[in-house]
Chain A
Amino acid sequence: MRPDRMVEALLFASEAPLSAADLARVDESLNEDLVEEIIAGLREEYESTDRAFGIVEIAGGYQILTRPEYAFVLDRFETVPTTARLSAAALETLAIIAYRQPVGRAEVEEIRGVSAGGVLKTLAERNLIEVVARGEGLGRPLLYGTTRFFLEHFGFRTLAELPRSDELDVILADRTADA
C-alpha cells in the first residue's frame, strides 16, 4: 500500500483538519516527518494536475479545501450555506481576545471604549471564543480565549500567524509618549 495514498485517503475523508501526528498514527510505516513529506508531494501533484482543491494548513492540521478560484461555482449551488460575515464590533473584539487571551470583559471594553457584553455572547455562541479561566479579583470575572474553530474560521494555522504589531499598517513604533 502506498503511504502517500493512505494519507490522501484520510485527508479526503475528513471533514476537519488532521494534524501530522493524527495522520501518522494510522499506520506504523508512517511518521510525522514522512507525513509532511507526503503532503508536500500531494500538494505538488494537485498543483501540477490543476485540481480544483488543495491541501491547506489550517488550525494546526491539514485539510483539503476547494480552491478560491472555484468559489463562484459553489456560490451558485443553492444548498451551500451562506456564511454571514462578522461585524466590525465582533472583529475588533476577536482581535483583542486573540492577542490578549485570557482576557476579561472589562479589558475588552477598556480597549474598545464601548460595552462588550452583547458581542462576547455572540462570539461565544458562534464558538469563536470560550471561557478559558476565571480572573482574580471581585466576582472572579470570566476570562475568554479563542477556540480552535476560530483558527478554522479565519484559515489560520496557529495564533502566531496573526500579524505582529510591526507588520501592521499603523504607526506604533514610538510609544515613549505614554511613559
Chain B
Amino acid sequence: MRSQHGHILVFLLLLATAGGALSAPTQTVHVLAEPSPFKDVFVLSLAQDLPANLRVVDEPDAADLLVALGDVAFTRAMDHEKPLLGVHVSRALSEKAARLGCQCAAIWAGVSLANQVQLVHTIMPLARRIGVVLGPDSVWPPEVVRGFRGPIKLELLSVKDTRALGDTLRENLNHLDAIVLPVDDSLLGPDAAKLVLLTSYRQRRPVFGPDLTFVNAGSVASYYASGSDLVSEAVQRLRVFADTGEWGASAFVSRPSVVVNEHVASSFDMHYRESGALEDALNNAGEAP
C-alpha cells in the first residue's frame, strides 16, 4: 500500500514537472516602432519587466509575438501575421484590424471617458453638465457619451472637422460647466487646441484632457497613459497571452497617470491644484462613476 502511494507521488511529481515545462516555454517578443527615444526607453523597460518566459528579440522574424507602438507600426506589423499587441494605437484602427480577423489586440491611445469624468468630478465637484467634444476619429464613440450614467450629465458635442469646432463651442459653452476632450489627432491639432482653449477660457469654462501635452498647453488636468503605464499594461497583456494564448479585449490602460496644470487649476479655483494631491483624491474616490 505504502509502495503504491510512493509510485503515485513520483508520477504526480513527474507530471507536474513536465506540465510546467510544457506550459512555460520561453516566447520571444519584438517591438516595432518608428525610431524614437521613446521606443528605446520602451523596449528597455519592457525587457526589464517581462517575466522569465518572455524575452525581447531584435528581429521580427525571430519573434513569436509582436508589439507595435503607434498606428503606423501597428499597420505594418499586421503584415507579419503573428500575434500582435498594439500599444498607443487608435481605437478606430484596432477595431478595423479586429474586423479583418487579425490575432491582435490594442492598448488604445488615451484613457477611458469614465476615467476623465471621474477626474472632473473629483477636482470640480460643482460641475453638473460637461460637454464632450467628439470628431469622427475620436477614441470615444458617441454611444459611450450618450449612454453614460453618473452624477454628471454629459453632453455630446459632435463636430465634423476642425472648422466646426468654433461654432460648436460658441453655441454650447454657455450652458456647460466644463469641456472634456478625447484623444483625436485629426481633430485636435495645434491650431484647434489653441482655439478650444482660448474659446473656453474666454468664457471661463475649464478644459480637461486629453493628454499630458494638452495639459502643458493649458488644459486643467487629465488622466493620460504615460510611458510606464503603457509598459506595465503591455507586460500584463503579454503575460496573459503567454499563459492563455489570448490577448483579451482591446482597451485603454487600466491604471493611467494624472497630471494637473497647477496655474490653470489655481485660476479656476479647483479643489486640487497639484498632481499628487489629485491622484490621492482619485484613489480615495475609488471606482469611476
A and B associate? no
